[in-house]
Structure 1
Amino acid sequence: MNARRGTEDNPETVGDKIGGLIKELVIVVVGALVIAFLIRTFLGQMFLIPSGSMEHTLNVNDRIAVQKVTHFERGDIVVFQDPDHWLGDEPQAPERSPIGKALEFIGVLPNTSSEYLVKRVIGMPGDHVKCCDSEGRITVNGQPLDERSYLYSQDGQQSKPSDQPFDVVVPRDRLWVMGDHRDDSADSRCHLRDQTADGTSMSAFVPKDDVVGPVFAIVAPFSRATWIHIPKTFENVPDPKAPAPAAPVIRSHNDACG
């Protein structure tokens, strides 16, 4: 019977110490990767912002954290799968190396896939969303939104809530979404004329099932790290007066899109 390593009769060698250290390091790394994968799968996920459609709430190359275990509401910023080729020619993040893709899959690195978009939820199922009232504001169920806290602004000039008029009722299990940089966001407004296989304009409305979850924080770069909250203006929006229709109600819209 061999004596146990590290005893007086069988002292531990330098090689044994290095081997033990490597073994412990491998266990720690593998354990951390497993935890990261489980968090990515069930709790949350990181994404990389590739375009300016949400400026300056979210800027290009911001790393954002998305929650998967909570519901979302009007005013939330959500990440969702591209519902119907919305991305078009929007800039995409550079492709990762094989190692980078593996770390992205596990959840250590943020997701850079071109299959996802990020926008703000303006209308929930059944909401009547209209642009604009006499003061140029978007209204939801008759309640005007004060969007000055998050709309894109540069050199003291803030973007309008929308240059394109529209008047819609959001269908069942769908969302109306818009970017905070309204002049640089190909959002729900831009797809009202898109026809789906059943001949409706469902393409303008994001399926709730395609939503990964709401953004709850900017995690990098460190200088921009912050929590993300729903703007207070959405607290005043009443519930819709009628159940959400099966198909969208589109009373008016404009072909132009910024």
Structure 2
Amino acid sequence: MGGTMRTGGRGCLGGVLSGLAVAVGCVLFLGGFACGAVLYRPYTVPTDSMSPTVGAGDRVLAQRIDGSEVRRGDVVVFTDRTWGDLPMVKRVVGLGGEEVACCDADGRLTVDGEPVREPYLRSQGWGAGEAASPTEFAATVPEGSLFLLGDQRAGSQDSRAHLQDAGRGSVPRSAVAARLDAVVWPPGGLGMVDRPQGFAALPGGVSAPGPVRPLAWAVAIGAALVLGGAAYGPLARLGSRPRKRSGATRG
């Protein structure tokens, strides 16, 4: 009798813990998805203008933000009538009141005369010592606006192509709808869209990472807890079955 009571006690405790695991797992799993749906929007990148950071057809998660939250180096989704009135993806390199120019003696982009290191450009093969842009330019960004470039500088239709417009190639902060945080498809391109440290020393620095990583962990841990808790009952019943005796008893 004593052995049966102890076994029952262990089974009762295990059942309570498995139920708790399922409950906590559901909160994490559903909560992570719910927060993600509120904070993020999925987008499909339409062109290669941001290659190699993101390529044409990549599915990305972009955090919904207000234009006032944008910092240099952010890869943003915006819509501007002058640019075709369609969602576009570019990198912010200059803010209102700043002079953005290219290229200095070392082929680098400058912001108010300060050179910016841009490792995300990588080699693009247009020669001229791999300058930050195959064409030279200079513009003063109007207050309340943003100067945007693609990472594929040889083929991107960005602020350089709109320098003769009234906004000197810039778009208003209010045109920004979201900031890219992660690439979720294709599987080979999975990863975070990092904040470039080349802009960190400039006034205002770079933006903080978005919450996509902790939300992903919450969903993954929640799923593991739900599956683990749900599996406890069948496994416990399987382990408690009496074993069949082998062989026959001789008289």
TM-score by length of 1: 0.60
User: How far has the Cα of 1:203 moved from its partner?
Assistant: 6.0
SS in 1 for 2:200: helix
Structure 1 residues 129 and 167 mapped into 2: Cα distance closer, same or farther (>3 Å)? same
Structure 1 residues 154 and 237 mapped into 2: Cα distance closer, same or farther (>3 Å)? same
Answer yes or no: is the 8 Å Cα contact 1:143–1:238 preserved in 2. no
User: How far has the Cα of 1:127 moved from its partner?
Assistant: 1.5
From 169, 174, 178, give the equivalent of 1:204.
Answer: 169
- Aligned-residue sequence identity (percent) comes to 36
Structure 2 portions without partners, runs of 5+: 1-29, 205-251
SS in 1 for 2:182: strand
Map residues 32-51 of structure 1 onto 2, 5 A cutoff. 42-51=38-47
Rg larger for: 2
Is 1:151 aligned to residue 121 of structure 2? yes
Find the counterpart in structure 1 of residue 74 from structure 2: 76
Deviates more, 1:212-221 or 1:158-167: 158-167
TM-score by length of 2: 0.61
Q: Which amino acid aligns with 2:117?
A: D
User: How far has the Cα of 1:55 moved from its partner?
Assistant: 0.6
| C-alpha separation in 2, matches of 1:116 and 1:208 | 14
| C-alpha separation in 1, matches of 2:94 and 2:73 | 8
Is 1:237 aligned to residue 236 of structure 2? no
User: How far has the Cα of 1:159 moved from its partner?
Assistant: 5.0
Find the counterpart in structure 2 of residue 177 from structure 1: 148
Map residues 1-258 of structure 1 onto 2, 5 A cutoff. 42-69=38-65, 71-84=69-82, 86-87=83-84, 115-147=86-118, 149-153=119-123, 160-194=131-165, 201-202=166-167, 204-238=169-203
Q: Which amino acid aligns with 1:64?
A: V
| C-alpha separation in 2, matches of 1:135 and 1:155 | 16
User: How far has the Cα of 1:72 moved from its partner?
Assistant: 2.1
Q: Which amino acid aligns with 1:76?
A: D
Aligned-CA RMSD value: 2.5
SS in 2 for 1:150: helix
Equivalent residue pairs, number: 170
Which structure's relative contact order is higher, taking Cα pairs within 8 Å and 6+ residues apart?
2
Find the counterpart in structure 2 of residue 244 from structure 1: none
CA deviation map 1:67-101 (0-9, x unaligned)? 014722100100001341x25xxxxxxxxxxxxxx
Structure 1 residues 172 and 182 mapped into 2: Cα distance closer, same or farther (>3 Å)? same
